[in-house]
Amino acid sequence: MKEIKVEFTLNGEKIALQSEPNRTLLDVLRQDLGLTGAKDACGGEGECGACTVIINGRPVNSCLVFIGQVEGQQVTTIEGITPQEGYHPIQKAFVEAGAVQCGYCTPGAVLATKALLDHHPRPSDQQIRAGLSGNLCRCTGYNKMLDAVHLVVKGEQND
């Protein structure tokens, strides 16, 4: 298949790449760009949220996005929210709350949380659950993820 040129903003930097148009953003991130923080857990069905990235402020399953669809868009991956030194407050909260076990779902859950808090800085419990409901986790039972979100929210209050 003939390759297309795609230009978009990835983690704050404009990039241009060549790809066959029928490839997913997840595949391009993992295979071409070496950004393996986004994971494939459900086989490209958009069921698990392990491949979550943020596109224009919204959490999106990158396995359901063809690379051509991100033309001109703002894409943020887990690598993009991690500061050069230290950690994003959500990452810190996930770690300190014990919300990280096997960790396979963690990058996706962290990004889903970021998208949630960007839109709802003071989410209700129900909003947190709904915000994380697209991210499957078999290890934690989600309790400590909810704790983590509360930690982040509290941290902001202290600022």
Partner 1 sequence: MTENYQSIGKGVIRKDAWEKAVGKALYTADLPVENLSYGVILRSPHHHARILEIDTSAAVRVPGVQAVITAEDIPGEKVFGPLIQDQPSLAWEVVRHLGEPVVLVIARSLKAAEQARESVKIRYQELEPVFDPLEAVQADAPQLHPDGNVVSEIHVGDGDPEIGFQEADVIVEKTFSLPRISPGYMEPEASLAVWEDDGTVTVWVSSQHPFTDQAAISAALNMPVDRVRVKGAVIGGAFGGKEDSSLAILAALGAWKIQGTVRLVNSRRESFLAHPKRHPAHIHYKLGARKDGTITAVQAEAYMDTGAYASYGPAVAMILTETMTGSYRVPHVRVDTFVVYTNSPLSGAMRGFGSPQTHFAVESALDMLAEKVELDPIQIREKNILHPGDQIFTKVTINDSALALTKCLQKGRELVEEFRAVPTPEGKLSGVGIALAAQSMGLGANVPDDSSHKLEWAPDGSVLIYLGSPDLGQGLAAAAEQITAESLGIPFDQVRSLPLDTLVTPNGNVTCASRMTYLVGNALVDASQKLIQALLKGAGRLLDIPADQLNYQNGMVLKPDGSEIPAVEFISRLAEDSITLEAESTFSFPYPEETTPQHLPIGMPHVLYCFGAQVVRVEVDPDLGTVEVTHLAAIHDVGKVINRLGVEGQIEGGVATGLGYALSETMLRKGESWVDSFTEYLLPTALDLPENYQTIILEVPETSGPYGAKGVGEIPLVPTAPAVANALYDAIQVRICDLPITPEKVLGLNKVS
Q: Which residues bind partner 1 (CB under 8 A)?
A: 30, 34-43, 45, 47-48, 50, 77-79, 82, 87, 91-92, 94-98, 100-107, 110, 125, 128-130, 132-146
Q: Shortest distance, CB of residue 70 to partner 1, whole angstroms?
A: 19
Which residue's structure tokens are 């241009």?
A: 16
Q: Which is nearer to partner 1, 74 or 101 (CB)?
A: 101
* Closer to partner 1 by Cβ: residue 4 or 79: 79
The nearer residue to partner 1, 84 or 157, going by C-beta atoms, is 84
Decide: 73 and 56 in contact? Cβ < 8 Å: yes
Q: How far is the CB of 40 from partner 1 (least distance, A)?
A: 8
Nearer to partner 1, 54 or 110 (CB): 110
Least distance in angstroms from the C-beta of 22 to partner 1: 11
How many other C-beta atoms lie within 10 A of the C-beta of residue 103?
A: 13
CA atoms of 34 and 96, how far apart (whole Å): 28
Tell which residue, 32, 38, 37, 35, has the closest CA to residue 16: 32
- C-alpha torsion 56→61→64→69, nearest 10: 10
Based on CB atoms, which residue is closest to partner 1, 9 or 82? 82
CB of 46 to partner 1, least distance (A): 9
Query: In the block, which residue shows the tokens 């295979």?
Result: 31
Phi, psi of 35 (to 5 degrees): -95, 90
Give me the least distance between CB of 74 and partner 1, in Å please: 18
Residues pairing with 60 in the sheet:
53
